[in-house]
Chains A and B, each alone.
Chain A
Amino acid sequence: MTDIQTKLEIFDRIATRRNERRGFLRFAGGGALAVGGASLLAACGNDDSDLAPGPTPTPTPAPALNDADVLNFALQLEYLEAQFYAFAVFGVGLNASLLTGTGTQGAVTGGRQVPEFANGTGDAVIREYAREIALDEIAHVAFLRSALGTAAVAQPAINISAGTVASPGSFTAAARAAGLVTANQIFDPYENENNFLLGAFIFEDVGVSAYKGASVLIANKTYLEAAAGILAAEAYHAGLVRTVLYRRGLGTPATPTTAAVAAVPALITGANAISNARDSLDGTVTNTSTGVIGDDDQGITGTDANVSNIVPTDANGIVYSRSAGQVLNIVYLNGASVSSGGFFPAGLNGNIKTSAANA
């Protein structure tokens, strides 16, 4: 094929395309605008409004939980612990500036200073432990709030009261569920040091399992390390409380240098009963991280009263995890899937607020 023929063919093709385009456009435009009329009319009306994003036909699915959601969940557990210890130890709650944020801010119901902490009677070291734990939990609230900044949730309504027989508060409800008190009694964690220790026991192991469960949910390495540090703090606290309960529970025999200390068996039976109650609340659902079904909580004594079980561990020597849903079963004092109750009468703020279906 010669060059000229090739070029003519090219020109032919160009002309053909042009004619086709003209033909198309004539066809499109000529006549009664019937063919593709609607779209062409729409094209006639082209203007900037087409550049604006169109309305979303279906809601965009909510994004998965992020680090801020996890920290906000932890923050609200810290609100609960900090308020309990602040009232029990110092007789006052947290500063108002520490309670604001997104969501619905609520008030604290209940809480008063334990008399032995107020007047210096009772065991001096117990008071020192209580102060130490209180200061740590308040620091946790402040730390998490500073990490979240404007994304921090407000403290929701919190109930840390004993209430009355007719109208039980959260601690009485928890104690009744554990069998510590009958339906005609209340449990007041502020009444004396021993009750305070059992009240503290309700929270501390739950905090450990909560932070352990959350450890895999935090993507940011800096905040992961910080969460690990709070996990350690809660484990120290739990170890402290359990050791004190065990030691006071069993009492101490006399030694050449010290007098005997009488046993308080109710501390051991009470702690073990609370552990069983926590077990029944967070259900028989298999714990996906450990594969353990149901039994993710342990009392402070082992096979018999003299065998200590200060550290609740599985066969690998590792503490248990709880999912956020299971933690909420315990703090809502409800094995069913609900979004409020128990220590949080109006539920949590933020995106993690529903307990697991374990009932």
Chain B
Amino acid sequence: MTESNHLIDALDARVERRNDRREFFKSVVGAAAMTAAGATAMTLSTAAAAQSVTDADVLNFALNLEYLEAQFYSYAAYGTGLDNSLLTGTGTQGAVRGGTQVNFNFDPRVAEYAREIAQDEIAHVRFLRTALGSAAVAQPAIDVSVSPTSAFSVAAQAAGLVPAGTAFNPYSSPENFLLGAFIFEDVGVTAYKGAAPLLTSKTYLEAAAGILAVEAYHSAIVRTTLYAKGIAVPALRTSADAISNARDRLDGATLDLDQGISPLSQTPTNLSTTQAAVQASNIVPLDANGVAYSRSTSQVLNIVYLNGSAASAGGFFPAGLNGTIRTSTTSS
């Protein structure tokens, strides 16, 4: 069986699992309706979400993630957060524990990247809010701040970047900024890829594909810059690798959905002559077919909640996401 058959089977298996999950939840929700127990209904409210995910649910899930990215980059590039007019909506609006403007003096190029990425992410927030209209969720409570217990610090500690109990400050240098950005960008790519087949509207499918591409461009900027700087400062590459491994632990050990940037020895195949192994970078995290990975909404939540167990809040979203897709299951 070829790799691609494995891939197709894996994708099919995922679709099957999703369908099975929906079928299971449908029957469970049906039973819950019978019991008319309020508490049961609330616990199973996320089951109802999994039962029939609408386009609006998917776009709202994406909007929550875009709020997070836009706030981080806005603080990093400009020193301020988003205007409140961009933050209102359904659900519980929360405050952002923000950051500070990065000192880019030693690398004005990275300043340019930060501004460009910030503008893109703010544009994503605007676009999704416009598409959703009155169905858009408000920004939930977001933590992109710096303290020994902040989300960035917990993530960095889990990755071994800093010792336990120590703060990680993604705003303190261009390099730290790049590492902070690295935490998000690949997750955005895999999240949009996993969500694309869930959308029924072709218009929003194309838009999601377009945002997926932008997140990949962003991730390439971050990974390429870390990689290039890693020649002089190898710790940048190993730190990125460590963050990737931490993400892998959070979203489950069964599937390796994440890759670091350190170079790999690869033997080219399918050329007209046999080739020796060569060292190549790993800017682009792809499977053996050259295809990016997907994450389910639950796996994305495992990462942003910084919790491999079932949860509805935590990490970068201290009060959880707004909307129907907000609860993760224990990753495996």
Q: Do A and B bind each other?
A: yes
A residues neighboring B (CB under 8 Å): 86, 90, 92-98, 124-125, 128-129, 131-143, 146-147, 208, 211-213, 215-216, 221-222, 224-226, 228-240, 242-244, 246-247, 250, 252-253, 255-258, 289, 302, 306-311, 313, 315-321
B residues neighboring A (CB under 8 Å): 2-5, 7-8, 11-12, 15, 106-109, 112-113, 115-117, 119-124, 126-127, 189, 192-194, 196-197, 202-203, 205-207, 209-214, 216-221, 223-225, 227-228, 231-233, 263, 266, 268-273, 275, 278-284, 286-294
Known A-B contacts A132-B283, A146-B5, A313-B123; the reply to A239 vs B224 at CB < 8 A is: yes
Closest 9 CB pairs of A and B: A239-B220, A317-B123, A139-B290, A229-B291, A235-B216, A318-B210, A232-B292, A308-B112, A143-B289
List 17 additional A-B contacts (Cβ < 8 Å) besides A226-B8, A308-B115. Answer: A92-B273, A95-B271, A138-B270, A142-B289, A143-B291, A147-B4, A215-B206, A216-B206, A229-B291, A231-B209, A233-B216, A235-B216, A308-B109, A308-B113, A309-B116, A316-B123, A317-B211
Binding site secondary structure of chain B: helix
Min C-beta distance of B237 to chain A, whole Å? 11
Q: Can you pick out 7 interface pairs between chain A and chain B where the beta carbons lie within 8 Å of each other? A: A92-B273, A96-B272, A225-B11, A237-B284, A250-B109, A256-B106, A316-B126
Known A-B contacts A90-B275, A236-B283, A239-B218; the reply to A226 vs B7 at CB < 8 A is: yes
B209:A212 contact, CB within 8 angstroms: yes
State the CA gap A309–B113 with chains docked (Å). 8
Known A-B contacts A143-B289, A147-B4; the reply to A317 vs B193 at CB < 8 A is: no
User: Which residues in B have their C-beta under 8 angstroms from that of A289?
Assistant: 203, 206
State the CA gap A315–B221 with chains docked (Å). 20
Known A-B contacts A139-B286, A238-B217; the reply to A134 vs B268 at CB < 8 A is: yes
User: Which residues in B have their C-beta under 8 angstroms from that of A215?
Assistant: 196, 205-206, 209
B284:A86 contact, CB within 8 angstroms: no
User: Which residues in B have their C-beta under 8 angstroms from that of A225?
Assistant: 11, 193-194, 196-197, 294
A125:B281 contact, CB within 8 angstroms: yes
Known A-B contacts A230-B291, A252-B109; the reply to A90 vs B225 at CB < 8 A is: no
State the CA gap A129–B263 with chains docked (Å). 10
Min C-beta distance of B128 to chain A, whole Å? 9
A125:B228 contact, CB within 8 angstroms: yes
State the CA gap A252–B174 with chains docked (Å). 14
Min C-beta distance of B116 to chain A, whole Å? 5
User: Which residues in A have their C-beta under 8 angstroms from that of B203?
Assistant: 289
Known A-B contacts A215-B206, A226-B7; the reply to A236 vs B211 at CB < 8 A is: no
User: Which residues in A have their C-beta under 8 angstroms from that of B231?
Assistant: 124-125
Residue of A nearest to B273 (CB): A92
